[in-house]
Amino acid sequence: MKKRFFVAAAAAASMLGFAVATPAQAAEAPVYFSRIYYDSPGKDTRSNASLNAEWFRLTNSTKKTIQLKNFTVRDAANHVYKFGAYALAPGKSVVVHTGKGTAGKPSAVDRYWGSGNYIWNNTGDTATLRNPAGKTINTCKFGKGVATNC
């Protein structure tokens, strides 16, 4: 009976032009990978400019500022980036570049991993965002290519 009621309610809502949220949509991550550029343009020279052309972007999907201090991002090979003090405003994004950055200082929207090597595999990898307690908040799995929207 409950199943038929849900199906009927969903059908009625769809006829009226309302979207019906699925459980996955309802449980959207408060911070998520919105883009990963995992194959920097040109040859892999390991220059700082080339390393910084490899990056990921996290976006805050909530209406509240989220403190990212001690959040981590890791790849499948367990390379780990740990956020220092950083407040991600509602609806805003932060980009973390693989290299060392400009003059070694982060900007308001850019952070730097500080690596001298590429992190993301061009043939496929998985990015995982975890909160300070180690709980997985969001993942983005990608295959061969250049970049992906997660």
Identify whether 1 is part of a domain.
no
Identify whether 19 is part of a domain.
no
**Given a cut of 80, is residue 13 above it in pLDDT?**
no
pTM summary value: 0.79
Identify whether 67 is part of a domain.
yes
Angle made by CA atoms 81, 110, 127, in degrees to the nearest 5:
35
Q: How far apart are CA 52 and CA 26, in angstroms?
A: 34
* Number of domains into which the chain is organized: 1
Contact 58, 93 (CB under 8 A): yes
**Given a cut of 50, is residue 52 above it in pLDDT?**
yes
- For residues 133-150, give the mean pLDDT: 95
The whole-number pLDDT of residue 109 equals: 87
Identify whether 124 is part of a domain.
yes
**Residue 86's CATH number:** 2.60.40.1260
Q: How confident is the model at residue 104 (pLDDT cuts 50, 70, 90)?
A: low
Q: How far apart are CA 61 and CA 58, in angstroms?
A: 10
Q: Report the candidate in 36, 80, 42 with the shortest Cα–Cα distance to residue 58.
A: 36
What's CA 11's distance to the chain center, in Å? 34
Identify whether 5 is part of a domain.
no
Identify whether 37 is part of a domain.
yes
Identify whether 22 is part of a domain.
no
Q: How far apart are CA 86 and CA 11, in angstroms?
A: 44
Place of tokens 């990921």: 56
Note down the domain range covering 111. 28-148
Identify whether 11 is part of a domain.
no
- For residues 5-28, give the mean pLDDT: 39
**Given a cut of 80, is residue 11 above it in pLDDT?**
no
Residue 117 has what DSSP assignment?
Answer: S
Q: How confident is the model at residue 64 (pLDDT cuts 50, 70, 90)?
A: very high
